[in-house]
A and B are shown apart, each in its own frame.
Chain A
């Protein structure tokens, strides 16, 4: 009964989505207030019914209703309740339902907080979001119904993939989806702006708040995914350039470009058509990611089980969205350009460079991700592009990007006076050069070219992002305090600096060893000695495990004990590696059990990972910067006032 209610609610949601899309769009065109008025009500109704549907599926999981096929395939009686709930989005059908739920939640949020927008514009935004909802609801109902019955019901479920039974993975998909789907709001704003025929500064400001919000969730989602892969896939890498990771990374790169381009549109009324194009691209790349993950056409550790009809549906949807949006852009985009100009040395120039480099970076990632598909279509040979290529290629645009970042955020809008510019940047530049060379020498005892470049870039960003906050602290009586928006920018860039530092130090000084160990034996990695004390059996709620007790010492002194496990999940009989990690702020010590080798020996992977926490911590700081910027209410109301001082003290980017 409950599953049928869920399905019925989903069908009702589709009907409401159709109302939400069709009536307001027509109403906005005809300037009919009654029709436009439907938008908010329909959006609320749609959210309510999608939420009911989602609750029904969750209920089926919590009560272990194995007469529902999706539940029977992805849950199991002894699964802990928290994982029964997270199993709702553990596979294709349920995660699609969650995608729809998040889309309707974003729509609801937009409809609630859009009272400042012109009525016709808001109606168009909500209408476009309704069109997207129709697409996804049809996708769910036609190809991926999560409520499909299994008759007769199974006695017990097939269990959730053990890899997904983890707190990190329980919250990684929701955050990632909030980010992904959030770009649909920017997309809807772009379409609405083109339908209206103008992207004014007020609209740009609005779009920017929503885009930053989506971006910060995407940042956190990607960060959690990376962290999860690090400790749960068991082998200690933090980024694999896997097609599906790339699929989430490309919208992030374009979304970052979009935020910066929106800054120019908002402050100066420039880059309008470019901003629209980026908004369309960011969302299209989100859809492309969905297609790659769910169609099974790409070899990936993340790929869902293959189903051609789903792939076909998403590809058609992607085609309609992209072609429709680009056609509209070709028709309306060019009329949006503005006549304002800017100096060669100005904030605008640096934001332009930022955009060019981010787009190049995205193009490279896209090329590496799709090349295997294209080459197979061309001559049938099956190739793969390894991480080494990505690692090198990605540095080409990003090294200039991070170096220019420090310059750009301390440059004034319109035109910057070179002499005062040099005066401000002198100290950060000296600090970066000194720290960039000295820090690796002092703490790790050697320095190479790439290492120096990486550290220099990191300290350069950190130092330059502190310039404005420090200035605000030391301001004279009566001088303007830094705006939240500018502070958010500084914090986000600071996070980027910490991230770059983490990546540089980890890749330069990480030590890794695979060794066969029997209890009582030990190996040395760097300054640390790892001794396997004993092996023992451990029972979990739905698995049994072999646990190694590994004692870590440094110069004979006890540091910590870690307990890596090899778990066997009872239902699927899968083996899984659970790494033992001892983490402090400046290094991780990582032990993972490999295979039983006979004679009481196990293969063991031991790693020393200096500063790896900075990678995720940096991402959190970036997201925090986004949050600070979004919280800038004052700035939302009075942008014009801040613009007056922008000639001397640079404002937010």
Chain B
């Protein structure tokens, strides 16, 4: 083949390859995108229905309950304004702790309980997922009340 043909062949193949890959992956992208939704928005009803999403915040102190000897777990997560109950069955990550940051993947079940299929807590104590940190910061700002006793009222329609 002559160099010009080679180049045409190379470009043609690359274009076809990229077109197929792009078409295919953009379709699959839609199904695999998982949105992060702030807890206040979940409580207000602004969350993607019929599909999984992520929430994140702090595990409320004293909220972790489990039936003795069972893997079923319930706890509440707060974004410092609103709280949401979370249920989970399975093994927890090592750094899961009350008062610490957590991210949960799952969907909203009945009675406003977030049914998690995956729980993430970060490997490093000092590290918090940026979206969680941001979400917390938003609700702690402008609040004069001390952190512990219910930072602010949960007023979902506010935001």
Contact = CB atoms under 8 A, between A and B. Distances in A.
Interface string A356-376: 110110011001000100010
Contacts of B159: none
Contacts of B50: none
Contacts of A341: 1-3, 5-6
B20 interface: yes
B157 interface: no
A337 B94 contact: no
Given A381-B35, A516-B69, A397 B21 contact: yes
Given A306-B130, A385-B32, A396-B20, A161 B123 contact: yes
Interface in B23-63: 24-25, 28-29, 31-36, 54
A151 interface: no
B28 A389 contact: yes
Nearest to A577: B94
Interface stretch (A297-305, A437-445, A550-558, A623-631): A297-305
B51 to A, nearest CB: 12
B36 A383 contact: yes
A538 interface: no
B95 A389 contact: no
A517 to B, nearest CB: 10
Interface stretch (A46-54, A195-203, A593-601): A593-601
Contact of B36 (A384, A392, A396, A577): A384
Contacts of B14: 356, 359-360
Interface string A588-621: 0000101101111101010000000000000000
A476 interface: no
Contact of A299 (B28, B90, B131): B131
B34 to A, nearest CB: 5
Contacts of B122: 301
B149 interface: no
A389 B33 CA distance: 9
A296 B91 contact: no
Interface in B80-107: 90-92, 94-95
Contacts of B29: 371, 385, 389
Given A299-B130, A356-B13, A397-B17, A383 B25 contact: no
Interface stretch (A63-71, A79-87, A428-436, A568-576): A568-576
Contacts, number: 135
Given A337-B3, A396-B24, A514-B91, A299 B66 contact: no
A386 interface: yes
Contacts of A599: 68-69
A477 interface: no
B130 A296 contact: yes
A360 B127 contact: no
A364 B127 contact: no
B127 A342 contact: no
Contact of A364 (B25, B69, B71): B25
Nearest to A601: B69
Nearest to A301: B123
Contacts of A359: 14
Nearest to B54: A384
Contact of A305 (B9, B32, B127): B127
Nearest to B5: A341
B129 interface: yes
A639 interface: no
Contacts of A342: 1, 6
B42 to A, nearest CB: 14
Contacts of A592: 91
Given A341-B2, A383-B35, A389-B29, A597 B71 contact: yes
Contact of A303 (B9, B20, B127): B127
Interface core residue of A235, A386, A572 (most chain B CB under 10 Å): A386
Contacts of B130: 296-297, 299, 306
Contact of B94 (A234, A274, A340, A375): A234
Contacts of B126: 305
Contacts of A382: 35-36, 131
A322 interface: no
B70 interface: yes
A574 B129 CA distance: 18
Contacts of B17: 356-357, 360, 397
A518 interface: yes
A335 interface: no
A237 B58 CA distance: 27
Nearest to B14: A356
A330 interface: no
B92 A163 contact: no
B71 A516 contact: yes
Given A396-B21, A516-B70, A597-B69, A605 B91 contact: yes
A364 B21 contact: yes
B24 A393 contact: yes
A349 B6 CA distance: 9
Nearest to B135: A382
Interface of B: 1-3, 5-6, 9-10, 13-14, 17-18, 20-21, 24-25, 28-29, 31-36, 54, 66, 68-71, 90-92, 94-95, 122-127, 129-131
Interchain residue pairs A-B with the least CB separation, the first 5: A594-B91, A389-B32, A382-B36, A599-B69, A598-B68
13 contacts: A270-B6, A274-B10, A341-B1, A341-B6, A357-B17, A383-B33, A383-B34, A385-B34, A396-B24, A516-B70, A597-B66, A598-B66, A599-B69
Interface of A: 161, 163, 234-235, 270, 274, 296-297, 299, 301, 303, 305-306, 337-344, 349, 352-353, 356-357, 359-360, 363-364, 367, 371, 375, 381-386, 388-389, 392-393, 396-397, 514-516, 518, 572, 574-577, 592, 594-595, 597-601, 603, 605
Given A360-B18, A603-B90, 4 more contacts: A344-B1, A371-B33, A383-B36, A595-B91
